[in-house]
Amino acid sequence: MKQIIVAIDGWSSCGKSTLAKQMAKVLGYIYVDSGAMYRAITLYFLRNHIDWTEKKEVKEALKDIELDFRTNDQNGTIEIYLNDENVEYLIRDLIVAEKVSEVAAVKAVREFAVAQQQKLGKKKGIVMDGRDIGTVVFPKAELKLFMTADNAVRVERRFKELVEKNPNITIEEVAENIQMRDYIDSNREVSPLRQAKDAIVIDNTNLTQEEQLKKALKLVKNISG
């Protein structure tokens, strides 16, 4: 089977990373959660009080950031490390989610992340999810998926995840965050969230994880044989 690049983009909380992870597992591909990179950079900026509206400050700060993905030996999941610290759990916090879209709109931040993402895809055999993977990171990806789901369903799914960690969180807070991020992500100047012309749309409002996986794997099979 020919190794390909699978680019998955779409709105927040619509099942991109769930699908990407499962596809990579079945295909024996690398999985890269590009959103985790923007979240880890945001965590670094918040911790170190970096003003991301200041170009010079951002440029200097990025020199001190090293990101890498490692496999958890116990459960086989891929986790992101920020300067050798496992931050996979911390970056999912709403505190990070509230600022990540502002940080991800900064040109220097995007250049930093995109360069690493492109390097990871050099040998193909990769599934990457994000907002600009099919449009900017891998414009020549063999398979581009654009995921979507009804707003209320997305909010409910993300709320379920977050309330397990923090019982004080409200569904309104989650809804507000998703709406704000979708707005900033699709209206920013640099690499806004767009459906690539050659992307295939998957609306998973009424699809189970198994059904969306089956659909996507069929598309891969059509391409890579």
Span 196-225, contacts to ligand CDP by CB under 6 A: 204, 207-209, 212
224 is in an annotated binding site: no
Q: Which stretch binds ligand CDP (CB under 6 A): 9-17, 45-53, 69-77, 194-202?
A: 9-17
Paired tokens of 68? 């890498």
Q: Does 104 bind ligand CDP (CB under 6 A)?
A: yes
Question: How far is Cα 31 from Cα 34, in angstroms, rounded to an integer?
Answer: 9
Instruction: Return all residues near 160 (Cβ < 8 A) that are at least 6 apart.
Output: none
Q: How many CB atoms lie within 10 A of CB 103?
A: 21
How far apart CA 60 and CA 114 sit, in angstroms, is 18
State which residue, 66 or 161, has the beta carbon closest to ligand CDP. 161
15 has binding-site annotation: yes
Instruction: Tell the smallest beta-carbon distance from residue 201 to ligand CDP (Å).
Output: 14
Q: Does 75 bind ligand CDP (CB under 6 A)?
A: no
67, with CB counted inside 10 A (0-12, 13-18, 19+), is middle
x/- letters, 113..142, toward ligand CDP (CB under 6 A): ----------------xxxxx---------
Sign of CA dihedral 112, 139, 39, 57: positive
Please report, as ranges, the residues that interact with ligand CDP according to CB under 6 A. 12-18, 34-35, 38-39, 100-101, 104, 129-133, 157-158, 161, 181, 185, 204, 207-209, 212
